[in-house]
């Protein structure tokens, strides 16, 4: 087994982990770098030679820092296959098309207004490239082991035989068909285990030793991870060895998503660390948001909620509907959703409601009384609004999109309030505002910030430091090697030390571009 860390190894974005296992080359995630310019510039670097000739890309979920670079990879390398859960495939279509559209719009605006430092501003990729990429993504059902070639489900008999293999040697004869069926049924039952950390048994066993039989090539299995609709951890198995990649793990008490399912075995583990050094605040974020909105509208101001269009926008809509139903907010308070992508994503949340922890009726009512803004002209008129309202608009870190026009209109006025609900990547416009910036650069000009700015981390969809450790304690034996990725340096190293000191595991934080053979 050989792993090369091509992204999210010294920062919290740009997830790309190249795994060579069982004679195959698999890229886990293909994310876009965000935040500081030194990281964003990596998006424009041509793919490393190691990324040519990939057998597969497996996506953990649809956030752009995990799938947003896929059109660039497709342009240069054309991997054989791209796999994701059905919901991730659906959301990736919405996110990639929107990402391409925004890049094209930004490039046109920069060329028209002349604020690009380049002779001609170009999008990182076009809408046409995004469409071609989406057509290559194949859906894999979570909870089932699939053969990498063709991604066909692994027969129950083969999975049961693999489970009886220890240290690369079969310790018992292959079970009869009836025994295999019993084994498969037992494995399925464990994925429905009750409790805040439901456990998902791997369909095949693992080995503490390299080598051994290939057991029919490389298998891939997705395990629901909470965090976002369709988000999954990824397990690769080959030659009696198992690698587990956590992806982004969700919270045990998320508003929309069930908690991540535990995985009990891994020879090598790659774990995210977004909140590796932080604990979510104990306050009720919905109650705090309600208080902020009441205070702001009482003083004649509006509340701007920069929001990720997928996941966060739906959570905010749910909270606003509950606050209105409870009488905390006036039923007639105007609420605007100024993000066509968020409206599309809300429809997908309805169609995949079986993956959510929320009652179907509440999901159906997310947009009740909400004014959905569709056209740029409507958005421009909304930015000139003169009466109190709540505006939800993308993007969540104010890195682009329609929210920038609302920031330009509302930030200079002290009556208004800007509320960031969730994680802000260092170097992003949102992070600077949360840190107390008195002015921000938008569309080539500096805009004064006099409006109040609040950061409600309680809306985050990421597991915090204690929830990450709880998930790790679900492994029955220590992995041979654990790698901590997808975090700012302090967060990653803090989690590394906890894993080392509290669990006694072999663990390290890999450097960007580093390669290991664990």
Q: What is the pLDDT of residues 207-258, one digit of tens each?
A: 333 332 233 489 999 999 999 999 999 999 999 999 999 999 999 999 999 9
pLDDT of 32 > 70? The answer is yes
Q: For position 151, what pLDDT does the model report? A: 55
For the segment 355-377, the average pLDDT, to the nearest whole number, is: 94
| CB 496, CB 508: distance < 8 Å | yes
- Chain position carrying tokens 């080959």: 238
For the segment 430-455, the average pLDDT, to the nearest whole number, is: 95
| CB 472, CB 271: distance < 8 Å | yes
Cα dist from 115 to 30, 400, 440, 444, whole Å: 30, 15, 15, 6
Query: Mutual orientation of helices 86-113 and 340-351 as an angle, nearest 10°?
Result: 180
Q: For position 88, what pLDDT does the model report? A: 98
Q: For position 153, what pLDDT does the model report? A: 55
For the segment 270-299, the average pLDDT, to the nearest whole number, is: 95
Domains defined along the chain, listed by start: 2-278+461-510 (3.60.15.10), 285-459 (3.40.50.10890)
Helix or strand holding residue 363 (H, E): helix 360-364
What is the rounded distance in angstroms from the CA atom of residue 508 to the CA atom of residue 518? 11
Q: For position 156, what pLDDT does the model report? A: 42
Contacts of 12 (CB under 8 A, 6+ apart): 35, 65, 274, 423, 425, 426, 486, 487, 488, 491
* Phi, psi (rounded to 5 degrees) for 363: -65, -40
The three-state secondary structure class of 370 is strand
User: What is the average pLDDT value for the chain, to the nearest integer?
Assistant: 87
What is the rounded distance in angstroms from the CA atom of residue 221 to the CA atom of residue 233? 8
- For the chain, percent of residues with pLDDT exceeding 90: 76
pLDDT of 198 > 60? The answer is no
Token reading at 301: 């101001």
The three-state secondary structure class of 179 is helix
- Residue 171, exposed/middle/buried by CB under 10 A (0-12, 13-18, 19+)? exposed
pLDDT band at 424 (very low <50, low <70, confident <90, very high): confident
Composition of the chain by helix, strand, coil, percent to 5:
35, 20, 45
Q: For position 196, what pLDDT does the model report? A: 40
| CB 265, CB 202: distance < 8 Å | yes
The three-state secondary structure class of 453 is strand
Q: DSSP string of 48-69?
A: PGGGTT-SEEE-S--SHHHHTT
What is the rounded distance in angstroms from the CA atom of residue 243 to the CA atom of residue 22? 11
Cα dist from 126 to 29, 234, 354, 382, whole Å: 20, 29, 33, 28
pLDDT digits 0-9 by tens, 303-336: 999 998 999 999 999 999 999 999 999 999 999 9
pLDDT of 370 > 80? The answer is yes
What is the rounded distance in angstroms from the CA atom of residue 253 to the CA atom of residue 260? 10
Query: Which of the residue ranges 10-19, 169-178, 384-393, 456-465 would you say has the lowest mean pLDDT?
Result: 169-178
Alpha-helical segments (H) within 79-219: 86-113, 127-134, 156-163, 177-190
- Residue 347, exposed/middle/buried by CB under 10 A (0-12, 13-18, 19+)? middle
Query: Which of the residue ranges 13-17, 87-91, 305-309 would you say has the lowest mean pLDDT?
Result: 305-309
Q: For position 346, what pLDDT does the model report? A: 96
Q: For position 48, what pLDDT does the model report? A: 93
What is the rounded distance in angstroms from the CA atom of residue 205 to the CA atom of residue 18? 23
| CB 489, CB 277: distance < 8 Å | no
What is the rounded distance in angstroms from the CA atom of residue 400 to the CA atom of residue 397? 8
Cα dist from 495 to 6, 130, 262, 504, 509, whole Å: 20, 35, 18, 13, 9
Residue 452: strand pairing partners: 417
pLDDT of 184 > 80? The answer is no
Residue 56: strand pairing partners: 26
The three-state secondary structure class of 386 is coil
Q: For position 148, what pLDDT does the model report? A: 85
Helix or strand holding residue 464 (H, E): none
Strands (E), 382-504: 390-393, 417-420, 439-442, 445-448, 452-455, 481-485
| CB 133, CB 71: distance < 8 Å | yes
Pairing between β-strand 452-455 and β-strand 417-420 as defined by DSSP bridges: parallel
Compare 52 and 121 and report the one with higher pLDDT. Answer: 52
Helix or strand holding residue 342 (H, E): helix 340-351
For the segment 49-61, the average pLDDT, to the nearest whole number, is: 95
Q: DSSP assignment, residue 502?
A: I
pLDDT band at 260 (very low <50, low <70, confident <90, very high): very high
Which is nearest to 134 in space by CA: 166, 99, 158?
99
For the segment 358-373, the average pLDDT, to the nearest whole number, is: 94
pLDDT of 41 > 50? The answer is yes
* Phi, psi (rounded to 5 degrees) for 265: -140, 140
Report pTM.
Answer: 0.83
pLDDT of 201 > 70? The answer is no
What is the rounded distance in angstroms from the CA atom of residue 239 to the CA atom of residue 241? 6
pLDDT of 161 > 60? The answer is no
């Amino acid at each position: 087994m050989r792993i090369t860390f091509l992204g999210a190894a010294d920062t919290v974005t740009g997830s790309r982990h190249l795994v060579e296992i069982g004679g195959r080359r698999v890229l886990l995630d293909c994310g876009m770098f965000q935040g500081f310019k030194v990281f964003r510039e990596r998006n424009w670097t041509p793919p490393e030679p190691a990324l040519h000739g990939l057998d597969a890309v497996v996506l953990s979920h649809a956030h752009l820092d995990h799938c947003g670079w896929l059109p660039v990879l497709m342009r240069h390398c054309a991997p054989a296959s791209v796999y994701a859960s059905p919901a991730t495939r659906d959301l990736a279509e919405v996110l990639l098309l929107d990402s391409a559209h925004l890049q094209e719009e930004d490039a046109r605006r920069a060329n028209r207004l002349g604020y690009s430092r380049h002779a001609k501003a170009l999008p990182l990729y076009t809408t046409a490239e995004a469409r071609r990429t989406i057509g290559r993504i194949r859906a894999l059902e979570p909870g089932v082991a699939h053969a990498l070639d063709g991604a066909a489900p692994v027969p129950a008999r083969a999975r049961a035989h693999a489970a009886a293999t220890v240290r690369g040697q079969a310790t018992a004869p292959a079970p009869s068909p009836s025994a295999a069926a019993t084994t498969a049924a037992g494995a399925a039952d464990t994925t429905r285990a009750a409790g805040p950390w439901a456990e998902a048994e791997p369909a095949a066993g693992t080995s503490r030793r390299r080598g051994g039989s290939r057991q029919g090539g490389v298998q891939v299995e997705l395990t629901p991870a909470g965090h976002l609709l369709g988000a999954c951890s990824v397990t690769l198995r080959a030659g009696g060895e198992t690698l587990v990649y956590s992806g982004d793990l969700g919270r045990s008490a998320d508003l929309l998503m069930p908690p991540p399912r535990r995985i009990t075995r891994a020879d090598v583990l790659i774990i995210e660390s977004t909140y590796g050094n932080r604990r979510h605040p104990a306050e009720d974020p919905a109650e705090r948001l309600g208080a902020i909105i009441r205070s702001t509208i009482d003083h004649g101001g509006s509340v701007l909620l920069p929001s990720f269009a997928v996941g966060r926008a739906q959570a905010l809509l749910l909270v606003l509907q509950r606050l209105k139903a409870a009488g905390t907010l006036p039923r007639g308070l105007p609420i605007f959703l100024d993000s066509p992508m968020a409206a599309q994503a809300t429809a997908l949340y309805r169609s995949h409601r079986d993956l959510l922890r929320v009652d179907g009726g509440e999901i159906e009512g997310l947009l009740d009384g909400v004014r959905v803004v569709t056209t740029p002209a409507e958005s421009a008129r909304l930015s000139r609004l003169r009466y109190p309202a709540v505006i939800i608009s993308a993007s969540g870190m104010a890195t682009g999109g329609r929210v920038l026009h609302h920031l330009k209109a509302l930030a200079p006025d002290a009556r208004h309030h800007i509320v960031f609900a969730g994680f802000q990547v260092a170097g992003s416009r949102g992070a600077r505002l949360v840190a107390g910036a008195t002015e921000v650069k938008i569309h080539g000009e500096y805009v004064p910030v006099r409006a109040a700015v609040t950061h409600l981390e309680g809306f985050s969809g990421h597991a915090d430091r204690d929830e990450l450790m709880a998930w790790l304690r679900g492994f029955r034996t220590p992995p041979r090697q654990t790698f901590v990725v997808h975090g700012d340096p302090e967060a990653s190293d803090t989690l590394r030390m906890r894993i080392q000191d509290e669990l006694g595991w072999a663990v390290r934080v890999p450097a960007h571009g580093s390669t290991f053979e664990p």
